[in-house]
Amino acid sequence: MKHSQVRTIAVTGATRGLGRALVDEFLCAGHRVIACGRSDERIESLRRTALSDRLLASTVDVRDAAAVRRWGESALEAGFDPDLVIANAGVVNAPAPLWEVPPDEIAEVMAVNVLGAAGTVRAFAPRMVEKGEGVLALLSSGWGRSTAPEVAPYCASKWAVEGLAQSLSQELPRGVGVFAVNPGVIDTDMLRRCFGDSAASYEGPDAWGKIAAPFFLGLRPGGGTVSVTVA
């Protein structure tokens, strides 16, 4: 896989924050993008803004494994066969001690962050295995390798992503790689939910995307390291 070739990239959670920044950077670089998000309105806005025949954007809720599978199938039918898949969709709980976080909120965090990543792998990994090449990038977090108070569900979900990636790396054939990617600390809606106004002291998604897009494109299987950090 040559660095200069046009890539086909699938991105979940693509309508805002880090996902949207990546989509914009990939399209500007001439790549083809399969994007999804769970808001019809935001998906339509993405289509209007991008105005590209290299973009295939769909409304998909990653909590619904069957819908994610159908999304993958429809992409292949449309001639979009990804060699890089970025499971970016994620949510964080409202900061609170674990015993005060409602059970349905914990379930939401786990469903999006863990089951969503697993469903995305299930949708695209078989084709990569068939081809014998490809990269699966699962968004982790600094809180997938450390912990903090009042975000226990989120920490648990990202630690799970790290474990999922480590185990998956032992199942994939040579030529297909998986990475748990810590994006760093970025001023997003999620960070503002945790940090409040102090999140503004960190760089925003657009600036991050200019560094992160080449980073993701540079991921290659066979390096032996599964847990990586955007740099």
Angle at 43 between CA 140 and CA 199, to 5 degrees: 45
66 CB-near residues (< 8 Å, 6+ apart): none
- CA 104, distance to chain mean position in Å, is 22
Q: Which two tokens stand for residue 44?
A: 């339509």
DSSP 114: I
If phi > 0 it is left, if psi is from -120 to 50 it is alpha, else beta; for residue 175 that is left
Cα separation, 102 vs 53, whole angstroms: 43
Report the chain's terminal Cα–Cα distance, integer Å.
22
Q: Which positions are catalytic?
A: 154
